[in-house]
Structure 1
């Protein structure tokens, strides 16, 4: 008898789920009720031990692990992994668990954490009209979901930032009313509430426009007690000393920014750093100016064209009211730093005027004290 009992806290759940098999179910259940609840997730496995006792209990953390082709997984028991739609790959937890990699296609649903939602037959492209819904069951104490975007390749918006052809919508969170275009190698956060709905749906709707479409997004639930939570309202949260800030459709051609956005871009101040330098790295080499009616607010105040400007940038009728910095811009204030990006107007043209670019591309570096 290799496995007598196992329970899995699939993601962030605060209740132990117990499954008894074989002998002594009451004794084993009582043992598990003594396990203290914590923010970490564990799986417990009981195995026979002919020398020490009739059984012993082994607990291993449901930690992140590495699966094939560089994909991330979660360490679960084999049965729990397969039951919830995952694929068991390499072993983990000294052989007591398996690295469970979950890849969800259209119509799929899972409770597994660290799930990849993918387009049909990914990495192949597809070119057709369809509606694809992919569903993540939320844990009872999940407050956020992090989206690590490998790529989203959809038909881009019109010149006003509206997704008239292809569109991605989320069933929870209101930071983005619509998503389309081409986005690669960045991340976003959704604020979720399992008491409102126990699921998070990703709905991709494509039309008959000829286009090579595909997507892959890693979806990770974050417990309310985790230090890795982003501040509420932050659509992006950067926690390294250097990185690149890009928005949805930053790699599009054209790279029009989307309408219907309302979120903060947040940067944590790291230890032993006293200032942060920002540099715009747009493909055109120019600054990004949202049209007036929309807002990009920079942290602090900055200097452009030798004139100190307010930290809000916009572009009314082609005349530059404020400027964002093409040149390096360093601020001394302590973190966290916040950019605010609000694009409510769906009628303004988002095309280039003068020397402006159409979307956010910013490199940042935190400087040592």
Structure 2
């Protein structure tokens, strides 16, 4: 759950006690006027703007919204507040529940997002659109840059947290959780190369507090909820997985469920330098360069997925994704993965 602060508004209601008849003059002379103070309290929760393509803002008093550098779009809290939008600009720092970041011609363009409260432990990036120049396609063995983001790149840093995926290519509709470990802020930056391309981005950065059912366990970069779903590798839409990645994908165990099964309509992960195997491969000695690690199974690579992969003993909802930094010609064309999962409550 995102952290919510409170706004207090004080309204003064003055009521006059007017007497009838002869006592009226005396009552008036003595000035019997009573003041009643009514306190209106509302949370700085998410709200829906009324004239903007963005889906969510934060509810503040009008003056607060202006002071914090936001833009009012509609009302909230039964008209006592305004739906305040925070549109990030390059080089600036933000500490709101929800911050939006849109395409800029400035390069590099970086923003800093800081905790709005000490209880915040994650910032979630929802990439409505992230369309950057595709990864490098130079597969000569002397360069070792194939599948790397050498023209455009988005980087995220959070001190004390393991390196996060560097992204390029097309990643529309994906998300990432950035953990805040011993620090109050994260830095997000996009570098745009000089090569012509229809690049652009539109992101929502939402702060999440711990503990919360909507917040992932520590170490999870992607976190999926629901009894079933689909998970794709970064840059899946452009047909090649990215190089030099190490991150965890987690699935929340839903109430009443204790098992999970995995199925991959598309699975194309090179195991070692050489021609991509047309079959499924497993194990640490076979899958040495690029692979996924599944609970109860271990490493899986190759160009096929081993049917429906169950985790029979428990809800094994964590996958490790690893790709090395030395993609070469024999590994080119590996599309990545599209995984489907379904949770099972049989025997729970």
TM-score (norm 1): 0.73
Structure 1: distance between partners of 2:168 and 2:242: 10
Match of 2:133 in 1: 155
Match of 2:336 in 1: 359
Unaligned runs of 5+ in 2: 16-33, 138-145, 273-287
Structure 1: distance between partners of 2:292 and 2:126: 23
Q: Structure 2 matches for 1:286-365, cutoff 5 A?
A: 286-289=267-270, 291=272, 292-301=288-297, 311-315=298-302, 324-325=305-306, 327-335=307-315, 337-343=317-323, 345-349=324-328, 357-365=334-342
Match of 2:282 in 1: none
Structure 1: distance between partners of 2:47 and 2:115: 21
TM-score (norm 2): 0.77
Structure showing greater Rg: 2
Unaligned runs of 5+ in 1: 1-10, 13-39, 121-125, 302-310
8 A Cα contact 2:295 2:316, kept in partner:
no
Match of 2:21 in 1: none
Match of 2:205 in 1: 219
**Post-superposition offset of 1:189:** 0.6
The 1:333/1:269 distance shift into structure 2, 3 A limit, reads farther
Structure 2: distance between partners of 1:142 and 1:298: 30
- Deviating 4+ runs (over 4 angstroms): 350-353
Where 2:11 maps in the other structure, the secondary structure is strand
Where 2:171 maps in the other structure, the secondary structure is strand
**Post-superposition offset of 1:328:** 3.5
Count of paired positions? 299
The 1:367/1:225 distance shift into structure 2, 3 A limit, reads closer
CA RMSD of aligned residues (A): 2.6
The 1:288/1:76 distance shift into structure 2, 3 A limit, reads same
Where 2:175 maps in the other structure, the secondary structure is strand
